[in-house]
Chains A and B, each alone.
Chain A
Amino acid sequence: MAVVFERTKGLRPVSTHYCPGCTHGIIHRLTAEALEELGVLDRAIGVAPVGCSVLAYNYFNCDMQEAAHGRAPAVATGIKRVLPDKFVFTYQGDGDLASIGTAEVVHAAHRGENISIVFVNNAIYGMTGGQMAPTTLAGQRTTTSPLGRDPLHAGYPIRIAEMLAMIPGAAFIERVSVDSPANVRKAKKAIKRAFEIQLEGKGFSLVEVLSTCPTNWGIEPPLALKWLRENMIPYYPLGNFRDKTKEEATDE
């Protein structure tokens, strides 16, 4: 008899504050497993955001630093430049990264900072009670778009992965989803690859992970996965948008 799945050492042995069925828990696990498997837990420094994952520093089994709302890429830049031998990652929601923190992530990518970002897109501000985010889909109901987001009034949902992929300093950009076991396994591969890019010194890497917020979407957890699959994936297509290591290989 062989153990084929057990709790990763990359997470502290504590229960999280996340709502039942919230996929932040899955994405924490994938991030922690990648840190453990790459052997960097003892030299990793994670930067936590503001949002539901503000308490991520209680869960990851490595050094953690809290950042002001949206500023995690700037804080990570400072840490990595002062301590280049550390492995530095941020974990950020869509309200954090794609709204108040858009400037920080765009400039960190342009500078080609050698940091890795796990970007959790659940199309809403979870922590503050389900307000519309820049990533909220057209027609999606939130507490601040009770009739559904109207692009003529509120603009169009922002596609971060596609946007960052056009930036010359970005080395690795991929979008994944955690709506099914197969997609969770793919998400793990992408996060691990993004982390390897930093370890190889190749520069800025980001994985956008499509996630659920059953509580604020008002949908029970298994059906929230279905809602993600049917509504988010058509607008936020999955796949790799940039991999400089492959581009270099074809240039040669």
Chain B
Amino acid sequence: MAAKGKVTFSRDLCKGCGLCVSACPLKILEMDRETINEKGYNPAYCADPQKCIGCANCAMMCPDQVITVERF
């Protein structure tokens, strides 16, 4: 199935709060435990981009304007 949406993260702005992870209805966002960003946090990323529907719920809840959302 082709993705309907796409989320892009400004990873160095992320504070690792996890609000996007809990807002995503498809549960495809995760904290990247392999990466430490400029601020010293594990930033959020999309673990399964094919499933994104571009609903922007993640961006709605992000307190740090980390996420840009596109829809196809």
Contacts and interface: CB of A to CB of B under 8 A. Distances in A.
Nearest to A16: B64
A184 B23 CA distance: 12
B63 A18 contact: yes
Contact of A26 (B6, B56, B63): B63
Given A221-B18, A222-B18, A222-B21, A4 B61 contact: no
Nearest to B60: A181
Contact of B70 (A2, A21, A214, A222): A2
Interface in A1-37: 1-8, 11, 15-16, 18-26, 29
A42 interface: no
A63 interface: no
A21 B17 contact: yes
Given A1-B71, A15-B39, A21-B17, A222 B22 contact: yes
Task: Report, as a range, how many residues of chain B touch the other chain.
Answer: 20 to 34
Interface residues of A, number: 30
Contact of B64 (A15, A184, A222, A225): A15
A4 B17 contact: no
Most A-side CB within 10 Å, residue of B23, B57, B60: B60
A25 B69 contact: no
Contacts of B17: 20-21, 214, 221-222
Given A20-B41, A184-B60, A7 B65 contact: yes
A181 B65 contact: no
A20 B16 contact: yes
Interface in B18-72: 18-19, 21-23, 39, 41, 54, 56-57, 59-65, 67-72
Nearest to A6: B68
B19 A221 contact: yes
Most A CB contacts (10 A, CB to CB) among B17, B23, B62 go to: B17
B19 A225 contact: yes
Contacts of B15: 19-21
B16 to A, nearest CB: 6
A21 B56 contact: no
Contacts of A81: none
Interface in A176-229: 180-181, 184-185, 214, 220-222, 225
A21 B17 CA distance: 5
B64 to A, nearest CB: 5
Nearest to A30: B60
Contacts of A214: 17
Interface of B: 5-6, 13, 15-19, 21-23, 39, 41, 54, 56-57, 59-65, 67-72
In the A-B complex, the 7 residue pairs with the smallest Cβ-Cβ separation, listed nearest first, are A25-B63, A21-B17, A20-B15, A5-B69, A20-B17, A222-B22, A181-B60
Given A2-B71, A15-B64, 8 more contacts: A3-B69, A4-B54, A7-B68, A20-B17, A21-B18, A25-B64, A26-B62, A214-B17
